[in-house]
Amino acid sequence: MSAPHGHPAVAMLLVLDVGNTNTVLGVFAKTANDDDLSPLRYEHLLANWRVATIATQTVDEYGVLFRNLFAMEKIEVKGIGGIVISSVVPPLDSTLRQVCERYFHTKPLFIEPGVKTGMPVLYDNPAEVGADRIVNSVAAFEKFGGPCVVVDFGTATTFDCVSAKGEYQGGVISPGIGISADALFEKTARLPRVDIRKPVRVIGSTTVGSLQSGLYYGYLGLVDGILERLLDEMGEEVTVIATGGLAGLIGTGSKYIKHVDDLLTLEGLRIIWERNTATKPGRDFSPSNSSTASPVPSARPWSGRKPRSR
């Protein structure tokens, strides 16, 4: 088969980031014109999608959804040689595992304690850290170096701090702007539900405008207020990266966010997959015939190889 834009794909990697509200999927490919003697690297993002996370959907419903998405981009299911999943919705894990095995004939690699990430975790209990937070931190450090902070605008908004040595230090979790908007609508009798957008003026001249101003500028104040304190505490020149569904909306208005990267989580999943790949020159890898899904001996469950010096 041929990948879009004239790239003849020899192998593809499906990455899934399963959040409480949305699931983001991406397909990476290695092309045939790469050096066959080099380790297998999936560097070409062929397509990506954002769909609603529905915990009640069956294996077949998810299977049909994924196949339809592939068909729209003319990507053949049989080309998938590996699947890696980051999930914060445990009830869906079994369903997605069956989808991968039934529709893609591949056992997925779930990002969980024991998987090699290349990033030591300094949390008091590393197993408490959400998989998506580790994935984002790995990608941010790989792309931008450290120290850095990743702000992920999802159902909750998370702030994740990475040291100059590439250590996951911890961070902050706050309610997402969507939760704030829903609470305002549900707890008031006369206020309508509104779209979350940046208003033209701070002073609203209508109820809708006033609500939008309060949501946008109120949340922007929350984000910048937390970032100001984080940057002071980290004590160094820190790079701040935003990702997630509303990263573009809030991130572009922030005093501290310097980069907006909608694909950061997908890149992190690809990076972690490759770090768990026991490759041989010119050969593909699947966790179905590898021991990498087993816990890696380590003092901390999320730890992997030592971080690069910066």
pTM of the complete model: 0.82
- Tens-digit pLDDT profile for residues 56-101: 999 999 999 999 999 999 999 999 999 999 999 999 999 999 999 9
Q: Residues 6 or more apart from 140 whose CB is under 8 A from it?
A: 148, 150, 160, 162, 239, 241, 264, 268
pLDDT in tens, 23-47: 999 999 986 555 555 556 788 899 9
Q: What is the pLDDT of residues 211-270, one digit of tens each?
A: 999 999 999 999 999 999 999 999 879 999 999 988 988 988 999 999 999 999 999 999
- Tell me the two tokens of residue 277: 């790949």
More confident call, 295 vs 112: 112
C-alpha to C-alpha distance for 133 and 86, rounded to whole angstroms: 10
Give residue 200's pLDDT. Answer: 87
Q: Which residues pair with 151 in a beta bridge?
A: 159, 242
CA separation, residue 283 to residues 10, 37, 125, 191, 274 (Å)? 10, 9, 37, 59, 13
What 3-state class would DSSP assign to 276? coil
Q: What is the pLDDT of residue 36?
A: 55
- Range with the lowest mean pLDDT among 50-64, 139-153, 155-169, 181-195? 181-195
Residue 193 has pLDDT above 80, yes or no: yes
Looking at residue 39, what is its pLDDT?
57
- Of the candidates 243, 128, 225, 245, which has an alpha carbon nearest to the alpha carbon of residue 179? 245
pLDDT at 258: 94
Q: pLDDT digit string (tens) for 124-156?
A: 998 899 999 999 999 999 999 989 999 999 889
- 41 C-beta neighbours (distance < 10 Å), count: 16
User: Where is 211: in which H helix or E strand?
Assistant: helix 207-234
Q: Flag the least confident range among 20-34, 70-84, 185-199, 281-295.
A: 281-295
**pLDDT at res. 9:** 44
- CA torsion angle for 162, 167, 172, 173 (degrees, to 10)? 110
Nearest CA to 139 out of 249, 304, 233, 270 is that of 270
Residues 6+ apart with CB under 8 A from 205: none
Positions annotated as catalytic residues are: 132
Query: What pLDDT shows up at residue 287?
Result: 44
Reading the block at residue 59, the tokens are 């294996």
Predicted local confidence at residue 44, as pLDDT: 87
- Residues 78 and 183: their CA atoms lie apart, in Å, by 44
80-87 and 109-110 strand pairing:
parallel
